[in-house]
Amino acid sequence: MDQKDFKIDTLSEFFTKKFQVTLTQREPINHDSYMFRFDFKNPKERLGMQAVQHIKIYGLNMKGEIVDRAYTHIFEDDGYFLIPIKIYRPNVHPQFPNGGELTPWLEKLDLHSELTIKRCVGKLFYHNNQFIVRPKLNKTWQQFDTVLLICGGSGITPAYQLIKTICDNPNDNTKMVLLYANKTEQDIWLLKELNELQTKHKDQFTVHFTLDKSDENWKGLKGFVTLEMITSIFPKLTETTLGVLCGPKPMNKLVISLYEQLGLKKDNIVKF
Ligand SMILES: Cc1cc2nc3c(=O)[nH]c(=O)nc-3n(C[C@H](O)[C@H](O)[C@H](O)COP(=O)(O)OP(=O)(O)OC[C@H]3O[C@@H](n4cnc5c(N)ncnc54)[C@H](O)[C@@H]3O)c2cc1C
């Protein structure tokens, strides 16, 4: 399909229809996260979305009210897709005694239960080497030579989907530099996959990890994301540099301000 024929109809049934999937697997990844597998009723069906769109999962909070949250699948095949999900448990963080609204429900949901999901239009849309920034407002395709990505914790999933899609496209030479921040080494998701992508596409993709808490064996960056840190790892900006981000709210606020201090135009900064 030609780029000019490619339409994103955010109001189409594709994006607005809710449907049921079945939770078929929930394998632990680390101390607070699982890889969830969701199966369609039809064993041939796929989400079939372009990068970087996500889904909404609907569930219940502690009061029994319906809540929904955004998630990005990192793999799909005929009939199913996989999403890593971090659980915000109650009574873990003193500031959040109730934990998160949706994820404690997802942790307890019985295997083989059905749940409701919906496809969503994200803030960035990638197809064949080009992007549409904020597709709900704007339909102009843009080409970026470089994409800078700053992610925290579970915010890696949309970034990984984008990086993988670009690396898998032999016609796309977009350079990508990822800064991935986590609390500890155990919290890093997709470590092997990100390192493999960097090795396989070394002229195109570079990843840096930073940790809040690390021991003396840690060879990556240390501490919170700072202007000095990003200045030292990111290439010089051009008119066609895009800065994307996804992380916890306070981190997002900081990262947007750091991108601006680095010199990125507001229009070229996108939170997934
Ligand atoms: C585009 C996009 C894609 C996403 N993809 C993924 C994904 O693939 N996988 C994924 O896991 N998440 C993903 N998220 C995050 C997800 O949408 C939810 O925000 C997350 O699962 C938390 O939902 P919740 O209802 O459990 O928590 P909420 O009720 O929304 O509260 C979460 C916030 O409460 C605080 N909090 C609550 N409990 C604790 C605790 N025990 N410890 C520390 N802080 C706590 C934290 O500030 C946390 O950020 C994505 C978000 C976006 C915007």
Give the pLDDT score at 259. 98
Question: Is pLDDT at 2 greater than 90 in this prediction?
Answer: no
The tens digit of pLDDT for each residue in 60-97 reads: 999 999 999 999 999 999 999 999 999 999 999 898 99
The yes-or-no answer on residue 72 being catalytic is: yes
Cis amide prior to 92 (ω within 30 degrees): no
Q: Is the CB of 271 under 6 A from ligand 1?
A: no
Q: Is the CB of 161 under 6 A from ligand 1?
A: no
Ligand 1 mean position, distance from CA 237 (Å): 31
pLDDT band at 230 (very low <50, low <70, confident <90, very high): very high
Question: Is pLDDT at 218 greater than 70 in this prediction?
Answer: yes
Q: What is the average pLDDT across 161-186?
A: 96
The amino acid present at 157, given as its one-letter code, is T
Question: Is pLDDT at 112 greater than 80 in this prediction?
Answer: yes
Q: Which is it for strands 114-120 and 54-60: parallel, antiparallel or unpaired? A: antiparallel
pLDDT band at 246 (very low <50, low <70, confident <90, very high): very high
The tens digit of pLDDT for each residue in 4-23 reads: 667 788 889 999 999 999 99
Q: Is the CB of 70 under 6 A from ligand 1?
A: yes
Give the pLDDT score at 5. 65
Q: How far does CA 257 lie from the centroid of its chain? A: 20
Q: What is the average pLDDT across 120-137?
A: 91
The mean predicted confidence, pLDDT, of the chain is 95
| Range name among 7-11, 37-41, 43-47, 91-95 with the lowest pLDDT average | 7-11
The yes-or-no answer on residue 71 being catalytic is: yes
Answer whether 178's CB lies under 8 Å from 205's CB.
yes
Question: Is pLDDT at 128 greater than 90 in this prediction?
Answer: no
Give the pLDDT score at 167. 97
Per the annotation, does 157 bind a ligand? Answer: yes
Distances (CA, A) of 167 to 196, 198, 245: 11, 10, 19
pLDDT band at 138 (very low <50, low <70, confident <90, very high): confident
The amino acid present at 242, given as its one-letter code, is L
- pTM beyond 0.75, yes or no: yes
Among residues of the chain, what percentage have pLDDT more than 70? 98
